[in-house]
Structure 1
């Protein structure tokens, strides 16, 4: 049972973390249809959650796995999780490079909404010789 748990933990890190980060990065660069500002904020918050969860799990799962493999006396899984530290560093470097290439920050970005600009229905004259257009 402990091998199954350690294997599940390792494969959650190996496949789950890159999945969360890729989905978050794809959502970050996509142009979603968000008709209102509230929907745009919700889309940005979900994208931030995916990226933050992926980054957090990338750091936590190898450490927990290494501790549990050490406590269980599983040398094979200890080697796997020790090697995962190299992969963990590579993932952080890759996300940092993508963040450097982005035009804005990866976390905290809110996409533009599709709300139409409000129509101007009343003219307020401004001093300085500029009047209302059309009379």
Structure 2
């Protein structure tokens, strides 16, 4: 049962972390349909949750190395710690190349600009448009 658990832990890290990172980065760079500011904030919060989960799950090789008792799984998890460091370096590189922050970004909403319903005259000879 322990070997099955270690295998599950290893494959969750091997396939789950890159999947979550790719999904999070695609969501981060996409233009969502967010008709209101609240919808845009919800989309940004969902993207942040996916990226944070990927970065937290990236530490699974350390847990696996701590739990592994036999030499085979210890070897797999030692190599995975190197891969874990490479994933963190890749995220830092992508973050430096991006034009904005990876986590904490709220996309623009599609709300129309409010219509001007009242004219307030200003001094200096410029009156209200239209009379």
Counterparts of 1:79 and 1:110, CA distance in 2: 41
Distance 1:48 1:76 in 2: 35
**Structure 1 stretches of 5 or more lacking a match?**
none
User: What TM-score does the superposition give when structure 1 sets the normalisation length?
Assistant: 0.94
**Total equivalences in the alignment:** 131
Where does residue 24 of structure 1 map in the other structure? 24
1:36-86 alpha-carbon deviations (Å, 9 max, x no partner): 000000000000111011011102x111101110xxx22101111111111
> Any idea what the Cα deviations from partners look like across 1:67-112, whole Å, max 9, x if unmatched?
110xxx2210111111111100111111111111111000111111
* 2:102 matched residue in structure 1: 106
Question: 1:80 matched to which residue of 2?
Answer: 76
1:43 matched residue in structure 2: 43
Q: What is the aligned partner in structure 1 of residue 113 from structure 2?
A: 117
**TM-score, normalization by structure 2:** 0.97
CA positional deviation for 1:127: 2.1
Note the residue ranges of structure 2 that are not aligned, 5 or more in a row. none
RMSD over aligned CA atoms reads: 0.8
